Amino acid sequence: MRLADEYRRYAADLLRLAGKQSSCADKSHLLRMAEAWLDMSDRAAGRMKKLRATVDHPLVEQALGPDQPIIE
């Protein structure tokens, strides 16, 4: 499991929880937390992208899969 995916799951959990809140303050706080997890996910994905030898085109990644060899 990739770290970026784990962070996105945390954000999704917070978004679901925020949707159930009646307090605007609680909802706002949970949404800010979700945004922070998404930012961290983007950073983690960016670091992994620098390490992976992949072509950036989505169709190529779909054909080859997300797990590409690591550049050593």
d(CA 45, CA 27): 27
Number of other residues whose CB lies within 10 A of the CB of residue 33? 17
Look at residue 44 in the predicted model and tell me its pLDDT: 86
Residues 53, 71: contact at Cβ < 8 Å? yes
pLDDT for residue 48: 63
Domains of the chain, residue spans: 3-64
pLDDT (tens, 9 = 90+) of the chain, 72 residues, equals: 588 899 999 999 999 999 999 999 999 999 999 999 999 999 888 776 655 554 555 665 666 566 555 443
> What is the pLDDT at residue 72?
37
In this predicted structure, what is the pLDDT of residue 71?
44
